[in-house]
Structure 1
Amino acid sequence: MTLPTSFTLTLTCEDRPGIVAAVTTELAAIGANIAESNQFWDRSPNRFFMRIAFTAPVDTTTDSVARNLKSVVDRFGMQFEISDNARMPRIVIMVSRFDHAMLHLLYQIRVGWLKAEVVAIVSNHDDSAAVAQREGIAYHHWPVTKDTKAEQEERLLQLVRDKQADLVVLARYMQVLSDNLSTRLYGKVINIHHSFLPSFKGAKPYHQAFERGVKLIGATSHYVTPDLDEGPIIEQETERVTHAMTAEDFLATGRDIESRVLARAVKMHLERRVMLNGRKTIVFS
């Protein structure tokens, strides 16, 4: 038995009556069967967001779906994307010396919870080269200095183009991306920040939190923008800690949270569940 083709449609436009009816009517006309539908109206800017996962006859393509939706797209002034779910998303992972978040991503891909192909690992250190070799992933050791930063970022952009990567994941990559690179890859770079933002600034945030006697620590995954650590937030998590714990306990707890939060953010992005809304995100569960 031939299985139908599976797609995900995301769209946004100014809110007005009839959007859902118009979109679903056109999908029904091509024989689509809706498997999942989510929508949200942001009242302040009067903006409508929608995500629909659907199946369609086997000869259906993203282009043919787009053609059938053209009249609706034009009528409502929509911005939209259609993805073929049979295509495996391709990601580039960037890491420095702390590899816990990267290892968690690789594990979740190996067991099938996270459906993606890692096409390259990029690092400013060579610590993770053995992991990449074991996983059969191309490893690029590109040290970064003030003099080589611009060249390294151009090499990264070329790598993303050559590998047709859909997403760059900063899995504790401890280098700040330039404003130029952040702008050119806007919406395609996800970072894990080792604090529940807003946070303690500077080095050793968990030690600072320990010294201040905080009762909650956490992590934040967000899109990278020219505004350092202030990009649209995708996912966050906190965990309660106590005075009886050491700074090393804080660190271990934080690493676990970082790994989980980053993996969930990557999964939601690749499943087209995250939509940018100015400085915020719409995240459909």
Structure 2
Amino acid sequence: MTHNFVLRFRSPDRPGIMAAVTPLVAAQGCDIRAAEVYGDPETGHFFCRMELVSPVDHETLSTKIAGAEDYLLDWDLKDLAHKQRVLIAVSKFGHCLVDLIHKQEIGQLPIEIVGVVSNHDTMRKTVEWHGLPYHHLPMSDGKEAQEARFLSIIEESGAELTVLARYMQILSDDFSARLDGRCINIHHSFLPSFKGAKPYHQAHTRGVKIIGATAHFVTADLDEGPIIEQDVRRVSHAVVADEMVAIGREIEASVLSRAVRWHAEHRIFQNGNKTVVL
């Protein structure tokens, strides 16, 4: 019996890192099926993601890898057989939500959607038709009470990642801090330009020729979190704001699904206010 693992680590960048790690996994009979590395000259950090086929279990291999901790700043070993548990938050626009559900159902995303949270009831029928729990959390009881219930649903569902799929609420600083590194937002604009509300209308007013969407980690600073993925489409002077919105929906769905897949495949490292995706 074999196991498929992902070994990820970062360390201070110096010679001999891979020479120290690879013998440890090879000695356990592991086959390295893929490896991506990046050395950041600005931060002096080295990043690595390895896919391993291992004849030994997670505990055994973890014990051996710990022997290289003189080299590794931090590391984790993930089992690829485990599908990441994801909770999705949405408001009234369902294009990103439906795309994520569909891609999970056809096996394109290695995730298990554990439920959907919304401050509106708009998407209930769609979500429940797919057999998923729908949690309606209106803002009528106040932001603090609503976020407390939201956090309890994250904990009760065992969600490892929360995805804001056009969830049109600004999260409190405390909520954002508690989900640090475990919450991805899709912003319907090519950040850092056109933050906040109605970015396509802002873009149209400025006469832009390229529009886009940005998936990023959520932080207390609105639309300022580390960027994971972006994409763009070219538009002309003849494209009005509402047409930009329609084009943007397609971009948003594809950008968000890629970011979620990369997170579920353990490809994303936070590197200060940036990310490394291997």
TM superposition score normalised by structure 2 = 0.97
Deviation at 1:62, TM superposition (A): 2.2
In 1, Cα distance between equivalents of 2:223 and 2:247: 21
* Structure-1 separation of matches of 2:112 and 2:195: 34
Q: Deviations over 1:138-171 (max 9, x none)?
A: 10000125x5212222222222222211100000
Distance in 2 (CA, whole Å) between partners of 1:79 and 1:121 is: 32
Q: What is the Cα deviation at residue 77 of structure 1?
A: 4.4
Kept in 1: contact 2:164–2:186 (CA 8 A): yes
Q: Which among 74, 78, 92 is matched to residue 73 of structure 2?
A: 78
- Gap change, CA 1:61 and 1:152, over 3 Å in 2: farther
**In the alignment, residue 112 of structure 1 is paired with which amino acid?**
G
- Counterpart of 1:116 in structure 2 is 111
Residue 207 of structure 1 is aligned with which of 201, 204, 207?
Answer: 201
The C-alpha deviation readout for 1:246-279, integer Å capped at 9, x for no partner, is 3222111111101110000111111011101111
Displacement after TM superposition at 1:197 (Å):
0.6
1:61 maps to a residue whose letter is D
How far apart, CA to CA, are the structure 2 residues paired with 1:123 and 1:192?
15
Residues 257, 78 of structure 1: CA spacing in aligned structure 2 closer, same or farther, 3 A cutoff?
Answer: same
Does 2:10 match 1:12? yes
Residue 241 (1) aligns with residue 235 (2) = yes
- Deviation per residue, 1:189-215 (Å, 9 max, x gap): 000001001222443221222232210
SS at match of 2:49: strand
RMSD: 1.2
Partner of residue 274 from structure 1, selected from 253, 261, 268: 268
> Letter of the aligned partner of 2:97 in structure 1?
M
Where has structure 1 moved over 6 Å in runs of 4 or more? none
User: AA paired with 1:139?
Assistant: Y
Aligned match of 2:52 in 54, 59, 73?
A: 54
- Separation of aligned partners in 1, 2:49 and 2:61: 15
What amino acid maps onto 1:52 in structure 2? M
Counterpart in the other structure of 2:120: 125
Where 2:113 maps in the other structure, the secondary structure is: strand
Percent identity, aligned pairs only, is 46
Q: 1:274 to 1:109 in 2, by over 3 A?
A: same
Q: Give the whole-Å Cα distance in 2 for the aligned partners of 1:244 and 1:217.
A: 14
Structure 2 unaligned spans of 5+ = none
Corresponding residue of 1:26: 24
2:38 aligned partner: 40
Please report how far the alpha carbon of residue 65 of structure 1 lies from its aligned counterpart in structure 2 after TM superposition.
1.5
Unaligned residue ranges in structure 1 (runs of 5+): none
Q: TM-score under structure 1 normalisation?
A: 0.94
**Cα distance in 2 for residues equivalent to 1:172 and 1:181:** 17
Alignment match of 2:82 (pick from 84, 87, 97): 87
* Contact persistence 2:83–2:264 (CA under 8 A): no
Contact 2:9-2:72 within 8 A present in 1 as well: no
- The residue aligned with 1:65 is 61
* Partner SS for 2:86: strand
